[in-house]
Structure 1
Amino acid sequence: MSLVGGDFPVQQSELAGAVAMVTGAGQGIGAAVTRALVAAGAVVAAVDRNPGPLAELADGLSGKPGEPGAPATAGPVHPYLLDVSDPAAVESTVDLIEGQLGPLTILVNVAGILRVAPAVELTDQDWADTFAVNTTGVFHTCRSVGRRMAGRGTGAIVTVGSNAAGVPRTGMAAYAASKAAATMFTRCLGLELGRSGVRCNIVSPGSTDTEMQRALWQDDATAAEQRVIDGDPASYRVGIPLGRIAQPADIAEAVAFLVSDRARHITMHDLYVDGGATLRA
């Protein structure tokens, strides 16, 4: 047995032989997903557009320096620089990954950005940038990897969405709409690829202790976290019934389950991991 992020016991050989691609792997949920898949035995192509966090992640999990885009080494994590909003770059990077590591059997879409503003004050650029990464980026990676998986008759895709895709949030119109679009795209993809043996699911986190979450906090972290747990009637936001904010490992554990054979009969599912915050509305 080994631990995912020091929190969860997993079977170390559960994903032995699997080759995974994780976008947004440099920090937060993406880094936790990478650790979870490595703990379960997978080889991971860790993809991000920021080289520094990628190198640190590869160093920590492989025990040696990782150079994004360099030829694959013997370690379990291989960093690749990629902006998922660039379709040509996605195609060439997927080709490179499969040439160096072997056929992809797992894709996890985590890359995302958040621009917060009232809907009528969002700029065109905020809207376009949000959809370019959160929605179109998912389309680019799923199209490229899904086509290959379908041809081989096997594979598992998970898109990390958000509970904001199912419940309106003040100040988060662009983010919520982009995540709702990515969620429905992933479900449609699962319907189309089901007979090819490819499963497509969504994990929808609620408030999670990441840099993106902390960027929303205006004061002391402890007080801000408690306000999230308690909820805010002024913004029509209920609290978290379980009384805690998620850790990235909580989300990663759900992803690891959905890409494993334990979930072999699950597809097109949207799994909320939010401590009950949306009351599953």
Structure 2
Amino acid sequence: MSIIERNSPLNLQYKVCIVTNASSPLGVVICKTLLKANALVLGVDDKARDHSLNAGLGTHFQFERIDIQDANAAGAIIESAKRKFEGLGGGGRVDALVGLVDEDGSDGKAKDLEGSRKLSLAIGEVMKEGNGGSIVVVPSNAKGGHGSEAMVRYPINSARGQADLDQIQLARDLSQQHAGSVRCNVVTPGATTAFEDCSEELYREAQTHMKALMKTERPASDVPASQQVPPEHYAVANLVLFLAGSMSEAIAGKRVNLDGAYCAL
């Protein structure tokens, strides 16, 4: 599935990436984008594996059906990544965690926030034992757009607005816990806080290496509009790829917009 050349700075060959809520529409796109960059991807979800993601012995995509809220989920996921990628160059490492935070659909609350916290803390310790790594928190409503209209506005005192703040706080806590060894960032399209000057430059450079990815984002003409992947999903996934790899090593403890602009957590 890889389409990024091995000499590309976005190449994630032999890098082990774990993606939670991997069977959601956005999770599927994130997994496929990381696979296109040669990563070894472990998808995690309490729902069945999406049929478009092939998992099998010796493949770059593996799947673990587990609820991250379970008491022993973190240890089971880490062990699964080590076991399933042992013969593919994973070397017992975890290089990136994409924490796609889910919501329960009824009141907008992030239902698996505590599970995400426990998993992120445990995987951060594994990263510290290795060569570091990257944790990217992706709120469930981070679905695209640019600037001030990038995502729906929710009142702070609403359940959805509070969930957004909770997920930013999660990234802030993780950044403080893992400071100096693991990069922790959160994707927050449409954030209204003033961004740092020239903060988009690193991502602009990364986007020059994404031409092959961009070509795959054109919707198929024979697929009904209702079944097509929203273009915004690709925008989120491409930013996640950037934050998971070495091109973003200078960015840590940030809220990052879809155009690459960032500010402190």
TM-score by length of 1: 0.64
Gap change, CA 1:191 and 1:177, over 3 Å in 2 = same
2:252 aligned with 1:255, yes or no? no
Q: CA-to-partner distance for each residue in 1:107-149, whole Å, 9 max, x for gaps?
A: 00114024355xxxxxxxx8xxx3431x212202102211111
Select 1:269's aligned residue among 239, 254, 264: 254
Select 2:122's aligned residue among 137, 141, 144: 144
Going by fraction, where is helix more abundant, 1 or 2?
A: 1
Unaligned runs of 5+ in 1: 5-9, 60-65, 67-71, 118-125, 207-220, 223-244, 277-281
* Two-structure CA RMSD over aligned residues (Å): 3.3
Count residues with an aligned counterpart. 208
Q: CA-to-partner distance for each residue in 1:123-178, whole Å, 9 max, x for gaps?
A: xxx8xxx3431x212202102211111222411110002569x9851599223322
Select 1:186's aligned residue among 171, 187, 200: 171
2:51 aligned with 1:56, yes or no? yes
Residue 105 (structure 1) shift: 0.7
SS at match of 1:58: coil
Select 2:39's aligned residue among 39, 42, 46: 42
Residue 93 (structure 1) shift: 2.2
Please show how residues 108-257 of structure 1 align to structure 2 within 5 Å. Answer: 108-117=98-107, 130-133=109-112, 135-161=113-139, 162=141, 169=154, 173-195=158-180, 197-205=181-189, 246-257=231-242
Distance across 2 between alignment mates of 1:12 and 1:192: 28
1:26–1:57 CA contact under 8 A, matched in 2:
no
Identity of aligned residues (%): 22
Tell me: higher relative CO, structure 1 or 2? Use CA pairs within 8 A at least 6 residues apart: 2
1:33 aligned residue: 30
2:148 aligned residue: none
Unaligned runs of 5+ in 2: 86-91, 144-150, 191-224
Amino acid in the other structure paired with 2:124: G
Amino acid in the other structure paired with 1:50: K
